[in-house]
Structure 1
Amino acid sequence: MATGWRTPRPCWPSPWRWHSHRMSRHRLRAAARPLRLRSLAPVLLLALAAPALAGCADDGRAEPASDRTSGATSAPSLEPSVGTGEYPRYVALGDSYTAAPLVPETDAGDGCLRSSGNYPSLVAAAFKGTVLADVSCSGADTTSLIGVQRTFDGAAQPAQLDAVTEDTSLVTLSIGGNDFGLFSALVGGCAQLAQTDPDGSPCADVGAGEATEVLAKIEQRVASVVEGIRDRAPDARILVVGYPQIVPQGKETCDALPIAAGDLPFARTVNEGLAEAVEEGARRAKVEYVDVYALTDGHDICSDDPWIAGRDTVPGQALAFHPFAAEQQAVAEEILRILRD
């Protein structure tokens, strides 16, 4: 397990797009107003690194976190495929929700923090003869697909789409969570604001503004990335993989998700909105979608069986606000189910 790296920006942002098929069935509460990122800029400067550093010692090594780690051991099983040559070359594109730091062994050498137990590795292992090119990278956003990405240790990573070649037969894409800093605003900025008004809704109250436009842009960017994949690998099967449920559906938050009590409806709306924006991008591009939000229902951060770590990094299991092995294996199972249908 690698230790001592600088904390990656959480890869999971927000939502405020009401016209999608799911959101149109909901009346949004006043607390679920769009987040104006500029209003959160001062607290974000302090909060961007806070989530994953919360469980670190002074020397940079991770310390034991809370006991809410049941999801790390409740993973579904994977059965190897008997077929050969079904997907000879598989390319995995994405951010840290694909790279899955600390699940369990992590390569920190290039700054991308890809783990040995992430869902691309599990999917590739289930098919005989499949060669995996996993170029997912913590901190990536949609611009990292077409241009150089600077990782947290300053290394330069080439455009992820460079890995997609004409002979690629399978591509999974999970991206959008880091675009416009939405996830950082939620788990970083909102957590910081909660300290000033723990019983109120300080994050939702920062004002209306850019969220609807931002989510529409994420949808457009996802669709554009898919077109870029098609241009490079016209015969590849493409699956867009969504984001999980991190915010509880109930009326109470928990210590592992340190947002103000009144911000819970807003955070839930943000959580679902991002998932919907990515799903709409996949639909717009006419490719298959892996509904991770639905898949992880009941396994949010505050649940009895969380598949996403809370504010504390769990050494050897998950980075703060990132997936446990159970979530990665569940995603792999769902991808394999879709591929085998």
Structure 2
Amino acid sequence: MRPSRTAAVAASLLLSAGCAFVDPATAEVAPRTVAAGYVALGDSYSSGAGAGDYLPSAGKNCKRSSRAYPVLWAEAHRPSSFSFLACNGAGTGEVLSEQLGPLGARTRLVSLTVGGTDSGFATVMTSCALGGTPCRSAVSRARTAMDGPLARNLDRLYSVIRNRAPAARVVVLGYPHLYHLRGSCALGLPEVERAAINDAVDHLNEVIAQRAADHGFTFADVTSAFAGHEICSSRPWLHGVDVLAITESYHPTAPGQSFGYLPALDRAS
């Protein structure tokens, strides 16, 4: 995909509003008073935004996909019960206030991705589309947010998850690099901005991994799995800017979920 700068700005602005399994047709939030064996929490990278085949029971906003890695894992492993709570656009606050109901003493596995929204990645994408100083400033502000508010919010969220699900294995998955450097995109962000965005993703993953380790959780890195499949690669597993499906921009495709995220959860669980 060859996004223009104008499209990138528009997509980033709109993106900020919107960054088991037994049967896909019946996958939905489990009753909040009943603990589930596997609980999938988090943001759009866990809900499957960008993967298509969205579950009607989840509503339009959460974009929970039957091709998302939590659904695929649950199909393969058949946990005693499965609650799929991940939702497009969720930050740590939304996970804390809206997604933790099914956790309990019988929960054996929890997976989640969260942190991109808290870090202001939509602003980073918008600013980097303008290039130069705005991009560097946005990345600097995002790194400050990662080291400060995000780290504190993750500590709070992780503590509550552990308290509510004391016996669960908790797998925190990271984020892939968005861009393949020296790739095939002739248009869109300049190479230096693409590198700056990837560096910001690395720092985000470092912060998430450290907080996860401090709480006894397992961090699953997906950058190596997505290597060679970023935006501007010959076989991308991430959407570039799509003005016709704006909330899917910068999100994993169905292959990104099945070949990038699912093996990472398999290894960690």
Q: What is the TM-score with the length of structure 1 in the denominator?
A: 0.63
Q: How does 1:22-41 map to 2 (within 5 A)?
A: none
The higher radius of gyration belongs to 1
| Alpha-carbon contact 1:93-1:171 (below 8 Å) kept | yes
Q: Structure with the greater relative contact order (CA < 8 A, sep ≥ 6): 1 or 2?
A: 1
> What SS class does the counterpart of residue 219 from structure 2 fall into?
strand
Q: CA deviation at 1:261?
A: 3.7
Q: CA deviation at 1:97?
A: 0.6
Q: Deviations over 1:166-194 (max 9, x none)?
A: 2211100210010042x101223322x14
> What SS class does the counterpart of residue 70 from structure 2 fall into?
helix
The aligned residue for residue 90 of structure 1 is 38
Q: CA deviation at 1:125?
A: 0.8
The aligned residue for residue 175 of structure 1 is 114
Q: CA deviation at 1:44?
A: 7.6
| Alpha-carbon contact 1:202-1:263 (below 8 Å) kept | no
Decide which of 137, 144, 161 is 1:229's aligned counterpart.
Answer: 161
The aligned residue for residue 179 of structure 2 is 247
> What SS class does the counterpart of residue 179 from structure 1 fall into?
coil
Supply the AA of the counterpart residue of 1:133: S
Decide which of 82, 92, 96 is 1:132's aligned counterpart.
Answer: 82
Q: CA deviation at 1:251?
A: 4.3
| Alpha-carbon contact 1:141-1:177 (below 8 Å) kept | yes
Compared CA separation, residues 326 and 314, structure 1 to 2 (3 A):
farther
Counterparts of 2:139 and 2:45 in 1: how far apart (Å)? 28
> What SS class does the counterpart of residue 336 from structure 1 fall into?
helix
The aligned residue for residue 217 of structure 2 is 287
Counterparts of 2:48 and 2:71 in 1: how far apart (Å)? 11
Compared CA separation, residues 101 and 285, structure 1 to 2 (3 A):
same
The aligned residue for residue 118 of structure 1 is 68
> What SS class does the counterpart of residue 162 from structure 1 fall into?
coil
Q: How does 1:270-285 map to 2 (within 5 A)?
A: 270-285=200-215
Counterparts of 1:167 and 1:208 in 2: how far apart (Å)? 41
> What SS class does the counterpart of residue 124 from structure 2 fall into?
helix
Quick check: 1:324 aligned with 2:253?
yes
Counterparts of 1:127 and 1:97 in 2: how far apart (Å)? 21
| Alpha-carbon contact 1:100-1:118 (below 8 Å) kept | yes
Counterparts of 1:212 and 1:106 in 2: how far apart (Å)? 33
Any gaps of 5 or more consecutive residues in structure 2? Answer: 1-7, 19-35
The aligned residue for residue 31 of structure 1 is none
| Alpha-carbon contact 2:86-2:99 (below 8 Å) kept | yes
Q: CA deviation at 1:104?
A: 2.6
| Alpha-carbon contact 1:52-1:313 (below 8 Å) kept | no
Counterparts of 1:215 and 1:124 in 2: how far apart (Å)? 31
* Bigger Cα displacement from structure 2, 104-113 vs 162-171: 104-113
Supply the AA of the counterpart residue of 1:105: D
The aligned residue for residue 269 of structure 1 is 199
Counterparts of 1:262 and 1:89 in 2: how far apart (Å)? 45
Quick check: 1:337 aligned with 2:242?
no
Decide which of 89, 92, 101 is 1:162's aligned counterpart.
Answer: 101
Decide which of 162, 183, 186 is 2:124's aligned counterpart.
Answer: 186
Decide which of 120, 126, 144 is 1:213's aligned counterpart.
Answer: 144
Q: CA deviation at 1:207?
A: 7.4
Counterparts of 2:136 and 2:216 in 1: how far apart (Å)? 37
The aligned residue for residue 309 of structure 1 is 239
Counterparts of 1:303 and 1:114 in 2: how far apart (Å)? 26
Q: CA deviation at 1:110?
A: 5.5
Q: How does 1:44-59 map to 2 (within 5 A)?
A: 47-49=12-14
Cα RMSD after superposing both structures: 3.0
Counterparts of 2:153 and 2:16 in 1: how far apart (Å)? 27
Supply the AA of the counterpart residue of 2:44: S
User: What fraction of aligned residue pairs are identical, expressed as a percent?
Assistant: 29
Supply the AA of the counterpart residue of 1:169: R
Q: What is the TM-score with the length of structure 2 in the denominator?
A: 0.78
